Copies of this chain bind each other. A is one copy, B any other.
Amino acid sequence: MSDEAAARIAFLRSLRAVRRFADRPVPDAVLADVLEVARWTGSAKNRQPWELVVVRERESLQALSTAGDFAGHLAGAPLGIALLMASEGGVRTTAVDEGRLAQNLMLAAWAHGVGTCVATVWSEREAAAKAVLAAPDDRTLRTILSVGYPEDEAARFLSAGPGRAAIPLGRKPLDELVHVERYGNRQR
């Protein structure tokens, strides 16, 4: 295995949610990289069924932090990025594309040591959150990312944050995740 491949894998493997942010702005050059990686994200039939709203106004971030019960981290983030999805085509496929976009945004920020956390907008509060962004009726808003430098070293190992109960850390073992050829076959 090449050193380059190993470094890339270690980088991908290291992404964690960050919910507490330092009082330090995200540089324009970093944001530009994040948006460019977002722009090149793949999607079904290359539809690119998305637009982004970059939010720095504190009042807006505070309002958006109430869009879901676990979105409190947005209130303390220097930057938010809202993912506005096209409704056409149905939620079935645009939500998968949305996840691809979110992961790419998070990794691009992390490439610069900038942390992110997903805030999920609750259906019944979507209209209010969209109003903050003046988003058109025919767009879906389900995901907003908090973006900022981690407050401290511990910030990436926290499972709890503002307005959020602690959730289990870590991941299931590989044996519970992977089947070979057919479901239930664990041989590898």
> A36 interface residue, CB < 8 Å from B?
yes
Contact A51 B179 (CB under 8 A): yes
Tier of interface size on chain A:
35 or more
A159 within 8 A of B: yes
Shortest CB distance A103–B (Å): 4
Task: Please report the C-alpha to C-alpha distance between residue A159 and residue B42 in the assembled complex, in whole angstroms.
Answer: 12
> Do A99 and B92 have beta carbons less than 8 Å apart?
no
Does B16 contact A1, Cβ atoms closer than 8 Å? no
Would you call B178 and A104 a contact (CB within 8 A)?
no
Within the assembled complex, what's the spacing in Å between the Cα atoms of A12 and B107? Answer: 8
Q: How far is the CA of A180 from the CA of B42 in the complex (A)?
A: 23
Q: Which residue of B lies closest to A54 (CB)?
A: B180
Whether B54 contacts A177 by the Cβ 8 Å rule is no
Known contacts being A99-B97, A99-B103, A101-B99, is A52 close to B168, with CB within 8 Å? no
- Contact yes or no, B183 A133, CB < 8 A: yes
Q: Residues of B contacting A70 with CB < 8 Å?
A: 45
Instruction: Indicate if the CB atoms of B5 and A112 lie closer than 8 Å.
Output: yes
Contact residues, A132-177 vs B (CB, 8 A): 133-136, 139, 142-143, 159, 167-169, 171-172, 174, 176-177
Q: Is A128 an interface residue (CB 8 A)?
A: no
Contact assessment for B136 and A183 in the assembled complex, using a CB-CB cutoff below 8 Å: yes
Closest Cβ neighbor of A136 among chain B residues = B183
Q: Are A35 and B134 in contact (CB under 8 A)?
A: no
A111 at interface, CB cutoff 8 A: yes
Question: Can you name the residue of chain B whose Cβ is closest to the Cβ of A28?
Answer: B188
CB-based contact B52/A183 at 8 Å: no
Instruction: List A residues 72-117 near B (Cβ within 8 Å).
Output: 84, 91-93, 95-104, 106-108, 111-113
